[in-house]
Amino acid sequence: MKILLLGYGKMGKIIEEIAVSRGHQIIGKINIDNRAELEQIQAQNVDVIIEFSQPEAAISNIRWGLERGIPVVSGTTGWMEKKPEIEKLTADKEGTFFYASNFSIGVNVFFKVNQYLAQLMDEQSDYKVSIEEIHHTEKKDAPSGTAITLAEDIVKNIDRLSQWELTEEKPMPKDALPITSKRIDPAPGTHIIRYQSEIDDIEITHTAHSRKGFALGAVLVAEWIKDKKGLLTMDDFLSFRNF
C-alpha cells in the first residue's frame, strides 16, 4: 500500500516506522517545512493519506486528499468546528474520510467502559463527575480530542448534565461536566474519569505509555479503509474486527 503522510512530527515518524515494518511504502512526508512539495504528488500514486498535523493545517490537508479522490485517515484534533464542511465535501465527492480523536485500541475499549459507567451513574445524583487529561506541552489544543469524546459520551448518558466546560474558562454551571487540562512533559496522554461523593470515589483511568498504540491503530485503519466509502469512525472499524 502506498501511503502519503500529511504531518511529519513525532506521530508521523512512528507511523512511518510501523507502516514500513508492515510492508507499506511511504511515498511522501509533508509538513510545514516542505508544504510546496504536496503539489508535486500525483494522486494516482497514493492509496491512502494518513493525516496527523496541526489544527490550523488539518482542513486544507483533508480537502487536498478528498478533492483528488484519495481516502483520508485523520487523527488531528482541535478543528471540529469545521467538521461539517469536511463531511459535506466527502458526500459531494463520494469520497472516503475516517476521523478518530484517538486510534489506540486500548483507548477505544476505555470509551466503551466510560459509556457503560455513565449509564450506571445516571441515577446516582450524589456523585459529581469530572474529567482530568494530561498531555505533553507540545499539544496545542485543550481539552484533548479524547477528553471531548469521553465528555460527550458522559453528557449523553447522564441526564443532569447538558454540556462540558474547561475548568479554567469560567465559573462552572451546575449542569456542566468540568474538564481539567494539564500539559506536563513527557506525558503522551492520561485521561481520568472521576465520580466523587461524600461516601466514596470511583475512578477509571487510561494511561498511554507511548505513541505507538495510536500509530499502530492509524496504520491498521489505513489498511482497512482502502476500498471503503463515506464517513467512517472507530466504531465501524472495531465492528469489523468483532470488537
For the stretch 43-87, pLDDT in tens is 999 999 999 999 899 999 999 999 999 999 999 988 989 999 999
Catalytic (active site) residue 139: yes
DSSP state at residue 172: P
Q: Where are the domains of the chain?
A: 2-103+212-240, 105-207
What pLDDT sits at residue 87? 97
Closest CA relative to residue 181, chosen from 154, 126, 141: 141
> Which residue among the candidates 24, 135, 191, 206 is catalytic per the annotation?
135
Query: How much is the pTM?
Result: 0.79
Give the whole-angstrom CA distance, residue 166 versus residue 173.
11
Class of domain 2-103+212-240: alpha beta
What pLDDT sits at residue 243? 44
The torsion of the CA quartet 32, 36, 42, 48, rounded to 10 degrees, works out to 10
> Which residue among the candidates 139, 174, 191, 206 is catalytic per the annotation?
139
Element of type H or E holding 84: helix 83-92
What pLDDT sits at residue 241? 59
Residues (pLDDT < 50) of the chain are 243
3-class DSSP state of 231: strand
CATH number listed for the domain at residues 105-207: 3.30.360.10
Catalytic (active site) residue 83: no
